[in-house]
């Protein structure tokens, strides 16, 4: 316990980086996921194909491989950015595939008659998707998206492997000094568990509230 207290500032800073990485990556993944979802349900075959290839590709690639490639490979061809920014982009691009799949399942759950009614009113595909389909689809996938958020939070720990000093990396550095892995990594694990519990609580409340409102 003393190891945790003595190095609390380092661990706290690592936690802040983890929260920043999580929030920024999820925001990017949500925006990109919406775009990919629109492509996957588009009436244009080429766009549907691109969206499908994107999802299938990133769902079948290890995130750690992508992080290593981006951090150590891209600078070799002249593409280099801040380490944290690179990690955010890679995680967002990776997790967008899972958000897109969750959103597509929500879109498929919306009655086909809703889209037909929107077209009958003269709405374009984009307007129909934005004003009619997506608002209803989002209500049905709050919990799945919450699960993606929790998985994303846990996946941010992989950024430590490429040099990002997040909570996992900070805990490892403290352990190298104190050599007390059990209290140090149990404490870090509890912090991740707390973030996941808060996310689960919020999405659960939102799901129940919106289910009543429908």
Residue 214 pLDDT: 45
> Which CATH number goes with the domain that contains 124?
1.10.3720.10
d(CA 132, CA 152): 28
| CB-based contact 37:145 (threshold 8 Å) | no
Mean pLDDT across 181-186: 88
Average pLDDT, the chain: 86
pLDDT band at 213 (very low <50, low <70, confident <90, very high): very low
The residue to which tokens 């897109």 are assigned:
100
Range of the domain at 164: 1-210
- Classify 179 in phi/psi space as left (phi over 0), alpha (psi -120 to 50) or beta: left
pLDDT tens per residue across span 105-118:
888 777 666 666 66
pLDDT tens per residue across span 29-51:
999 999 999 888 888 889 989 99
pLDDT tens per residue across span 61-108:
999 999 999 999 888 888 888 899 999 999 999 999 999 999 888 887
pLDDT tens per residue across span 147-170:
999 999 999 999 999 989 999 999
Mean pLDDT across 196-203: 92
3-state secondary structure of 78: coil
What's the CA angle centered on 70, arms 69 and 75, to 5 degrees?
100
Calculate the alpha carbon distances from 30 to 24, 27, 163, 194 in Å: 10, 5, 25, 22
Alpha-carbon radius of gyration of the chain: 20
| pTM to 2 decimal places | 0.88
User: How many domains does the chain fold into?
Assistant: 1
């Amino acid at each position: 316990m003393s190891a945790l207290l003595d190095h609390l500032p380092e661990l706290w800073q690592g936690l802040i980086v983890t929260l920043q990485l999580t929030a920024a990556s999820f925001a990017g993944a949500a925006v990109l996921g919406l775009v990919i979802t629109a492509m996957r349900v588009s009436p244009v075959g080429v766009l549907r194909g691109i969206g499908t290839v994107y999802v299938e590709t990133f769902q079948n690639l290890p995130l750690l491989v992508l992080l290593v490639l981006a951090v150590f490979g891209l600078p070799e061809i002249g593409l280099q950015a801040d380490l944290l920014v690179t990690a955010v982009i890679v995680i967002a691009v990776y997790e967008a595939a899972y958000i897109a799949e969750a959103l597509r399942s929500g879109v498929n759950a919306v009655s086909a008659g809703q889209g037909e009614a929107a077209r009958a009113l003269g709405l374009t595909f984009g307007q129909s998707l934005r004003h009619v389909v997506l608002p209803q689809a989002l209500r049905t996938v709050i919990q799945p998206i919450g699960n993606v958020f929790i998985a994303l939070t846990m996946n941010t720990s992989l950024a430590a492997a490429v040099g990002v000093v997040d909570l996992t990396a900070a805990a490892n550095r403290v352990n190298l000094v104190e050599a007390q892995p059990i209290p140090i990594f149990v404490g870090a694990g509890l912090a991740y568990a707390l973030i996941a519990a808060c996310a689960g609580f919020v999405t659960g409340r939102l799901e129940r509230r919106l289910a009543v409102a429908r």
